[in-house]
């Protein structure tokens, strides 16, 4: 059997404690580490609802889950080769008739088959299938975490865009009032034409910022729709 060689671990690789309270070693693969429902820390019911749909509707997660179930089935099939197989067969026939008495005959036979795993082929098959199942489990966990993380990023980006849009709309309302006042001052001969042009430029620039922001918001919304 293969023996893993010993290797010195640097002193800086220390056991770390994560927010969930569990511990893990940096030298160990964390692919299947339980992350939990970390998004609930934000206390946002809408985010909770969307994150719950990830495991059901996200196609990457669904595909990874199907691969994991298939890998588990392969492991069960490989383990079954370690045990003997039993077979049962039966038959029934009737003889006689007319002048002869009728006789019913029944026969049941059992068969068993088992071969010792002298060269470790079955054992190695189980190990290989188990490793593939573990890799599929890691892929599933990674696909789910990736989708959930991307969802959270897009969701909060969308919420940020909403908050910024509120500020921009208020700013536009202020610039519109300022432009009207500046035009009145210009008509009255109090303010120069350059003040009007400057106010118009501020208003147009802020409206352009709002349009670009709403376009970004739409992209975040579309990305969330794809994830769920």
3 beta partners: none
Q: How far is CA 151 from the centre of its chain?
A: 10
> Residues 6 or more apart from 122 whose CB is under 8 A from it?
78, 81, 82
DSSP secondary structure code for residue 5 in this structure = P
Of 224, 211, 213, nearest to 156 by C-alpha is 224
Q: Residue 164: CB partners within 8 Å, gap ≥ 6?
A: 213
Q: Cα 119 from chain centroid?
A: 40
The per-residue pLDDT for 113 is 52
Bridge partner list, 111? 87
Per-residue pLDDT at 146: 80
Instruction: Give the model's pLDDT for residue 68.
Output: 59
| Cα–Cα distance, 72 to 135 (Å, whole number) | 11
Taking only the tens of pLDDT, the chain with its 228 residues reads 556 677 665 554 444 434 444 444 444 445 445 567 888 888 999 999 988 888 777 777 777 666 656 666 655 665 665 555 555 666 667 666 566 666 666 665 655 554 554 445 555 655 666 666 677 677 677 778 888 888 888 899 999 999 999 999 999 999 999 999 999 999 999 999 999 999 999 999 999 999 999 999 999 988 888 888
Given this model, what pLDDT does residue 183 score? 94
Whole-number Å distance between alpha carbons of 53 and 60: 13
């Amino acid at each position: 059997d293969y023996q893993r060689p010993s290797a010195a671990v640097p002193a800086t690789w220390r056991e770390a404690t994560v927010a969930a309270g569990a511990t893990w070693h940096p030298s160990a693969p964390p692919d299947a580490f339980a992350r939990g429902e970390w998004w609930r820390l934000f206390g946002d019911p809408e985010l909770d609802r969307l994150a719950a749909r990830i495991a059901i509707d996200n196609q990457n997660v669904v595909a990874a889950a199907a691969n994991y179930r298939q890998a588990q089935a392969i492991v069960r099939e490989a383990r079954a080769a370690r045990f003997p197989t039993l077979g049962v067969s039966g038959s029934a026939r009737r003889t006689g008739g007319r002048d002869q008495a009728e006789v019913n005959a029944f026969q049941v036979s059992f068969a068993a088959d088992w071969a010792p795993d002298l060269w470790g082929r079955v054992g190695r098959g189980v190990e290989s299938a188990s490793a593939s199942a573990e890799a599929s489990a890691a892929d599933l966990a990674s696909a789910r975490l990736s989708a959930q993380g991307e969802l959270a990023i897009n969701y909060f980006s969308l919420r940020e865009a909403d908050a910024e849009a509120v500020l921009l709309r208020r700013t536009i309302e202020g610039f519109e009032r300022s432009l009207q006042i500046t035009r009145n001052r210009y008509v009255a001969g109090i303010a120069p034409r350059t003040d009007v042009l400057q106010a118009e430029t501020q208003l147009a620039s802020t409206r352009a910022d709002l349009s670009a922001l709403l376009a970004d918001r739409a992209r975040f919304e579309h990305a969330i729709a794809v994830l769920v």
